[in-house]
With several copies, the nearest count.
Chain A
Amino acid sequence: MNARRAAVAAEPEQSTPEAAHRRELLRTMLLIRRFEEACAELYSAARIRGFVHLYVGEEAVATGVMAALGPDDAVVSTYREHGHALARGLPVDSLMAEMFGKQSGCSGGRGGSMHLFDSSRHFVGGNAVVAAGIPLAIGLALADKLQHRDRVTVCFFGEGAAAEGEFHEALNLATLWRLPVLFCCENNLYAMGTAIAKEHAQTDLALRAESYGLAAWPVDGMDVFAVESAARRAVEAIRGGAGPHFLELRTFRFRAHSMYDPDRYREKVEIEHWKEHDPIDALVATMRAAGQLDDADLEATRDEVAGLVAAAVDAAEAAPIEPVESLTRFVTSDREAEGSRT
């Protein structure tokens, strides 16, 4: 489909705003990819621990959605959130330090891979309980509505999460109260080892969502332009007061569910098929065909992001660990020192 797009597009100069924007999208996707490759290596080297869920193959989703947001909008994420965080602009250094559990990490090292937070970017965190972020997102949107703020809250979750009761309760509530929230269901066809047909009686999730009375449509999640334009349309409508919207972003994870997962439940051929639709390759092809990218550009961008990630790893390695004495910080806001009075 990107070939078709490219064909109909005029051949703009590399310096047009469109080209610049696309280079930005590409850079983000490459950065996510490189960051996660590094994470995988560091995990194997036991420098990163805990559960780590890679987003490889799904980069177009986070990148496209975030491109549609303003700096004041809010994001609620999942445990598979490196891509969301990077696309939202969290500094690579702070993310990598978090992976190492260092105090310089974006969550002070307390969270690790599944709990990336950044209040300055309204990035309200990774959440490791499936679907548990959805109610938070509608609450943020409720606060915005009550305070007459022009913010949209974006909420990411997987197709597996849509089977949880909280999905149902929150979609109903958001629609009933016309809350400014964009539900982004990342449908990568599997919830751990469970294929969508074993999770949902009705596998057309956009249709399911529509039954709550909100606007919902499916989007090719491997096409960053499709994602961005769908997200823009939805965000604009939401800001205009049209209430919650729902995007089903059809995508695929190229790697296992987590670093623990031997991926026994998927056929190699299915994975290979999807890899042919690698969202980065597709974007590169489109940009090349449009004359917006040449080998040197691509190489330079790859080098740049690789350099960023490498520097982040070095910095994270070098960063000091938190002293054990501060173990009970952040249990409560104002009584941090009084560890004993619990």
Chain B
Amino acid sequence: MTATLVETTYREALRAALREALSEDERVFLMGEDVGSYGGCFAVSLGLLEEFGPERIRDTPLSESAFVGAGIGAALGGMRPIVEIMTVNFSLLALDQIMNNAASLLHMSGGQFNVPLVIRMTTGAGRQLAAQHSHSLEGWYAHIPGLRILAPATLEDARGMLPTALRDPDPVLIFEHGSLYNMKGTLAADAGAVDIDRAVVRRPGDDVTLITYGGTLGKTLEAADLLAADGISAEVVDLRTLRPLDDETFVGSVRRTHRAVVVDEGWRSGSLSAEISARIMEQALYDLEAPVERVCTAEVPMPYPKHLEDAALPQPDTIAAAARRAMRPVAV
């Protein structure tokens, strides 16, 4: 099967997924702040209002809690809503709805009311948006039972995670890293739904496993290049789904390489990297040749200046440095 490849971007791939979902299923609609006339704050839904009309591309007032709650209600009422929260930073205003309703209704009702809702939002730092607009909270959301958390890091996943998420009977949150929208590349012309159960190895290697997801996949692959130049063969695992985690793939890799670095744009303490590290320790302690390293964001509300933001975030060189530390652990 040699599919034709087309040039596209992450943004266009997301839009193609939205367009397909809207075309194929009458129950699907998109709702959120500025998804319509404005075209989406990051232009993801540009043109969809013209194509599908204001009933299905639904601009909302600035009322995160109400329109997320309305998305939950509409899902209960038989629709397949896609709710866009402009960015993860504002999702805190809707967190009660997400945790106490979306994630809990199925259980509280003894299985009677499931919530087939998809929530999309932009996440991450790197664009000098300062303290209130730079959170990476997807790992935090992964703490909540009842949710599925996705982090598309590639064009395939930007194109393919939404259709699979829409088939899920339960709430799915999709986190799109803000730095990826302009990412260019090629995609099969007939690209469609992808699996959302498994992590994947994006680059095979033997000496150390670099585990990451979303916005830091690119930096981690760059780090692998840096390491290759040093003769270190790094395997890069893209988690893809942050809840439920696919332990098998990343633990399996660490069992082979005996060394691991977790790269995570969340603030270090209590980030997803801690959970990954704990699981490796639980499942593969005796395979480890060195402590699992973590490369995370400095524990500081994000500063505006570029040089400070760069210093706060995981970078190819800090990732590579952590991998080198793992290669030469100082025994104590």
Contacts and interface: CB of A to CB of B under 8 A. Distances in A.
A136 B66 CA distance: 8
Interface in A162-199: 163-166, 169-170, 172-173, 176, 191-195, 198-199
A110 B300 CA distance: 11
B66 A135 contact: yes
Interface stretch (A23-31, A54-62, A126-134, A239-247): A126-134
B169 A333 contact: yes
Interface in A104-130: 105-112, 114-115, 117-119, 124-125, 127-130
Contacts of B170: 332-334
Contact of B111 (A194, A330, A335): A330
A112 B301 CA distance: 13
B73 A142 contact: yes
A137 B106 CA distance: 16
Contacts of A127: 101, 132
A22 B37 CA distance: 40
A327 B303 contact: yes
Given A51-B129, A327-B311, A191 B62 contact: yes
A230 interface: no
B216 to A, nearest CB: 18
Contacts of A329: 107, 111
Interface in B84-110: 89-90, 93, 96-97, 100-101, 105-110
Given A194-B59, A327-B312, A332 B106 contact: yes
A140 B145 contact: no
A26 to B, nearest CB: 30
Given A110-B130, A192-B33, A118 B112 contact: yes
Contacts of B133: 51, 114, 128
Nearest to A326: B308
A118 B108 CA distance: 11
B303 A200 contact: no
B269 interface: yes
24 contacts: A110-B305, A112-B128, A115-B109, A117-B112, A119-B112, A138-B70, A140-B76, A143-B74, A146-B55, A146-B74, A170-B70, A194-B38, A194-B61, A198-B37, A199-B62, A264-B39, A324-B308, A327-B300, A327-B312, A330-B107, A331-B300, A332-B106, A339-B299, A342-B299
Interface of A: 49-51, 74, 76, 101-102, 105-112, 114-115, 117-119, 124-125, 127-132, 134-144, 146-147, 160-161, 163-166, 169-170, 172-173, 176, 191-195, 198-200, 261, 264-265, 321-322, 324, 327-335, 338-339, 341-342
The 10 closest A-B pairs by CB, nearest first: A139-B73, A135-B69, A108-B110, A143-B77, A193-B38, A101-B305, A169-B66, A112-B304, A169-B63, A163-B61
Given A117-B110, A119-B109, A147-B77, 12 more contacts: A101-B128, A136-B70, A136-B76, A139-B74, A169-B63, A170-B63, A173-B63, A191-B61, A192-B38, A194-B61, A327-B298, A334-B169
